[in-house]
Amino acid sequence: MNGPANAVSIGLSAAIVAVEGERPSVLVVSHEGAEDALPFGPFDPVHHRTLELGLRKWVGEQTRFDLGYTEQLYTFGDLGRHRTQQARDPGTRVVSVGYLALTRMVREAPNTQWRGWYHYFPWEDWRDAKPAMIEQVIVPALRKFARDAPSPEMTEQRRERINICFGEGWDEERVLERYELLYEAGLVEEFYRDGGKRAEGVRLGTAMMFDHRRILATAIARLRGKLKYRPVVFELMAPTFTLLELQRVVEALAGLRLHKQNFRRLVNVQGLVEGTGKFSTPARGRPAELFHFRREVLRERQAPGVRLGSRRSRTA
């Protein structure tokens, strides 16, 4: 049944993030014959007392998982994000409220799976080296995008955005800005799908349903930024861990390698962890001391986070 003209439908979507080893992952819902999707569902203003309670209901039904740490990200309302629903009900604009949730790895429910987030954003992982696709594929395609602009002013604007997003000074937090630029340049599948166009040329990363890859990009950017001033990384850690395990999780999320000794010095100076006096029993190598998160730091410091300034030099 068609709704009234200019009606708004509110959707709720969650980017649920966990880290297994050195693999940051997002929980996706599989729909037969369709692209990966974040857990999502409509907000019911009659039965959902708040947006977050509505989200928790949908996540529980689709994943059999109770959300822990959760925060609202952003409201997304671009025209075309729900082409199927808008074709069926053209008078309704679909607006989605995105959330970020952090957890430790749990078993998937039926029709869900954990997928590495670099599967969707392969250009964001700089841990081993600068991704070859940036110089071989992305930069040449973006330069053409700039040259093809309809005016000299827009050409210059596009060149400036290319330099900010993919230039020498890599900023790990500009995940959404990079995705938006690749979208506008026609380098991701969603550009063609949302515009009802036939796909052409290079399509980078794996597409997601609706605008869920945009929501996930926002979640990654938020988490990368928040690492620096809030101890959110410990929401992803086991109760006890080695300092190397902690470093590897931070590196996995940031997509960067860090100097080992500088990282440990920073963690100690910030008072983020405390030794347990117990040691790991690895299959190989020497035992390492186990630590746990010091919750007292939340009272002691205004911005207790893991700064990423001490990075290991990268191979260009």
CATH number of the domain at 250, please.
1.10.10.10
Query: Same structural domain for residues 71 and 46?
Result: yes
Is 276:291 a contact under the CB 8 Å cutoff? yes
In a domain, 1, yes or no: no
Query: Same structural domain for residues 149 and 110?
Result: no
Query: Same structural domain for residues 67 and 92?
Result: yes
In a domain, 220, yes or no: no
pLDDT at 313 over 50: no
In a domain, 143, yes or no: yes
What confidence tens digit (pLDDT) does each residue in 244-286 have? Answer: 999 999 999 999 999 999 999 989 888 999 999 999 988 778 8
Query: Same structural domain for residues 28 and 88?
Result: yes
**What is the SS3 assignment for 28?**
strand
Q: Are strands 40-42 and 273-279 parallel, antiparallel or unpaired?
A: unpaired
pLDDT at 2 over 60: no
Q: How many angstroms separate the CA atoms of 207 and 209, rounded? A: 7
Query: Which residues, 6+ apart, have CB-to-CB distance to 253 below 8 Å?
Result: 19, 24, 223, 224, 227, 233, 236
Return the percentage of the chain with pLDDT > 90, whole number: 64
Tally the domains of the chain.
3
In a domain, 305, yes or no: no
Task: Find the domain containing 153 and state its range.
Answer: 123-205
Q: Band the pLDDT of 301: cuts 50, 70, 90.
A: confident
Name the one residue in this structure whose structure tokens are 């994943």: 63
In a domain, 312, yes or no: no
Q: How many angstroms separate the CA atoms of 258 and 54, rounded? A: 39
For residue 1, the model assigns a pLDDT of 41
Q: Which of 86, 118, 150 is the last residue of a domain?
A: 118
What confidence tens digit (pLDDT) does each residue in 25-82 have? Answer: 999 998 766 789 999 989 888 888 899 999 999 898 888 888 889 999 988 877 655 5
For residue 31, the model assigns a pLDDT of 73
CA Rg, the chain, in Å? 21
In a domain, 224, yes or no: no
Q: Band the pLDDT of 111: cuts 50, 70, 90.
A: confident
pTM, 2 dp: 0.90
| Averaged pLDDT, 201-223 | 94
Q: Which of 69, 100, 118 is the last residue of a domain?
A: 118
For residue 312, the model assigns a pLDDT of 58
What confidence tens digit (pLDDT) does each residue in 112-153 have? Answer: 999 999 999 999 999 999 999 999 999 999 999 999 999 999
In a domain, 191, yes or no: yes
Reading phi first (left if > 0) and then psi (alpha if -120 to 50, else beta), residue 75 is in beta
DSSP E strands, the chain: 7-20, 23-29, 40-42, 69-76, 92-102, 112-116, 273-279, 289-293
Query: Same structural domain for residues 105 and 197?
Result: no
In a domain, 23, yes or no: yes
Query: Same structural domain for residues 103 and 160?
Result: no
For residue 315, the model assigns a pLDDT of 39
Q: How many angstroms separate the CA atoms of 10 and 75, rounded? A: 10
Q: How many angstroms separate the CA atoms of 119 and 102, rounded? A: 19
For residue 213, the model assigns a pLDDT of 95
